[in-house]
Amino acid sequence: MKVLILNNDFRVYWKGRLIYLRKFLAAKGIELYATELFGKGSPYSFDSYRDTEDWWTCLFADHNSDELSKKEIAKNLFAKLDKIDPDIIIACPVTFFAGALGIRWAKQHKKKFIMFDDAKLAQFKRNFLVQTVKDLIIKQSDGLWLPSAEYYEDYNRLNSKNILFFNGYSCIDNSRFKFKEAKNLNYHTIICVARLVPIKNIDNLLRAWQLIEQENVNYKLKIIGDGPGRNDLNRLSQELGLKNVEFAGTIDNDELPSHLYQSDALILPSLSETWGLVVNEAMAGGMPVLLSNKVNACESLLKEGVNGYSFDPLNINQMATAILKFIKLTEAEKSEMSAQSLIIIDTMSYENMGQKLVDAMINIEAKKFKKPGLLAGTLIKRWYGKDDRSAWDKL
């Protein structure tokens, strides 16, 4: 079997997954190829494309989508797909170029198509017509690869028994964050790792932290990350009279494990988060987590009172209460939360991802080709997708 994973770009977390899957699938007799469209324009632009693998290519390494015509993108991608001729295409949502063009090629060549997606319907408001058209195209997929089983209910709207739901791709290299020594929970530091943009809700975190400092608990809030909101957030911190807040700025990705190790818990107060992989990283490092209930990972990875606490990100008092609940735990209780985080995150490993993907592909490959109806086929032929990710930093 020959499989191609296709995306507008592969940055940060996808790199480790692809390298692992290439080796894992090869041991199962499956050839894996990866193709990304654009080398520039990613929200994770700090992580550039590196042309080091012959099985992994970027079609437009020196361009972003705005510099290219839709037909030019399609022409080059279709030529690449013709050359590889995969049995199964796994691609990003059909909203984007890679997903839209990937499913078009698959249907034209009677190949199987799997779409991966980590967004829920409530997080992206579309008018009824747009959502109906999108869902009609998605229904032509053979499989939906979702972060966790908790996503299935959201996609039941598709009402299609011919789509295989499976999960497990929202994972990281857990071993990179696990420590040889026992996790110390006496650093008196709560850490937040996030871009400094409105959707991350750092302003409300600072307001909640003002309530924490009024309790004289002698804890520090360390904020790692940068962005256009940094000056405003610094100013707000000063206006609130905060004494124990550190804006650490951007750090090298290799340094993140040590920063997590020297902290007691992670807090992620986002107003919306399609998953939140920093939660995986923190839990792999044995950290309890304090999560906004709008972070999708919260539903799957946080067990209330077991490995952390959740809160409404718009309720400052509730956020502060969750933080104080953790701070006031005994050392033994914090250690138990740490242990539970390690147990829970082990269910979202690279190995788990690989095995679930293999099982799903074998199942899908055994089924008959799904020919789209007239309307769906017409939509697929005319829809090119896009590369608009402006909503990533705001609601």
What does the pLDDT read at residue 61?
A: 92
Q: Are 317 and 382 in contact (CB under 8 A)?
A: no
Q: Are 307 and 288 in contact (CB under 8 A)?
A: yes
DSSP 308: E
Q: Which two tokens stand for residue 375?
A: 């309307």
Q: What is the pLDDT of residues 121-137, one digit of tens each?
A: 877 777 888 888 999 99
Task: Report the alpha-carbon distance of residue 86 to residue 6 in Å, rounded.
Answer: 11
- Sign of CA pseudo-dihedral 41, 47, 48, 52: negative
What does the pLDDT read at residue 393?
A: 60
Residues of the chain with pLDDT under 50: none
What does the pLDDT read at residue 96?
A: 94
| Nearest in space to 68 (alpha carbons), one of 385, 378, 382, 379 | 385
What does the pLDDT read at residue 320?
A: 98
Task: Report the alpha-carbon distance of residue 28 to residue 43 in Å, rounded.
Answer: 34
Q: What is the pLDDT of residues 197-240, one digit of tens each?
A: 999 999 999 999 999 999 989 999 999 999 999 999 999 999 99
SS3 162: coil
Write the burial class of residue 241 (CB in 10 Å: 0-12 exposed, 13-18 middle, 19+ buried).
exposed
Number of Cβ within a 10 Å radius of residue 36: 24
Task: Report the alpha-carbon distance of residue 368 to residue 347 in Å, rounded.
Answer: 32
What does the pLDDT read at residue 201?
A: 98
Task: Report the alpha-carbon distance of residue 24 to residue 295 in Å, rounded.
Answer: 30
Task: Report the alpha-carbon distance of residue 1 to residue 26 in Å, rounded.
Answer: 10
Residue 269 φ/ψ region, left for φ over 0, alpha for ψ in the -120 to 50 degree band, beta for the rest? alpha
What does the pLDDT read at residue 19?
A: 94
What does the pLDDT read at residue 391?
A: 53
What does the pLDDT read at residue 4?
A: 98
What does the pLDDT read at residue 128?
A: 83
Q: Where are the domains of the chain?
A: 2-171+349-393, 175-345
Q: Are 151 and 120 in contact (CB under 8 A)?
A: yes
Give the CATH number of domain 175-345. 3.40.50.2000
The CATH superfamily assigned to 2-171+349-393 is: Glycogen Phosphorylase B; (3.40.50.2000)
Task: Report the alpha-carbon distance of residue 87 to residue 3 in Å, rounded.
Answer: 6
SS3 97: helix
What does the pLDDT read at residue 180?
A: 78
| Nearest in space to 100 (alpha carbons), one of 113, 84, 118 | 113
What does the pLDDT read at residue 72?
A: 97
Task: Name the residue with tokens 């992994």.
Answer: 56
Task: Report the alpha-carbon distance of residue 334 to residue 138 in Å, rounded.
Answer: 44
Task: Report the alpha-carbon distance of residue 58 to residue 49 in Å, rounded.
Answer: 8
| Strands laid side by side in the 245-249 sheet | 245-249, 220-224, 189-193, 265-268, 289-292, 308-311
What does the pLDDT read at residue 40?
A: 86
H helices within 277-349, ranges in order? 277-284, 296-301, 316-327, 331-345
What does the pLDDT read at residue 49?
A: 63
Residue 75 has phi, psi (to 5 degrees) of -60, -50
What does the pLDDT read at residue 47?
A: 63
Beta bridge partners of 57: 35
Q: Are 288 and 298 in contact (CB under 8 A)?
A: no
Distances (CA, A) of 152 to 213, 292, 324: 41, 21, 34
Q: Provide the b/e sequence for 157-177 (b: ≥16 CB within 10 Å).
A: ebebeebbbbbbbbbbbbeeb
Q: Do domains 2-171+349-393 and 175-345 have the same CATH topology?
A: yes
What does the pLDDT read at residue 122?
A: 77
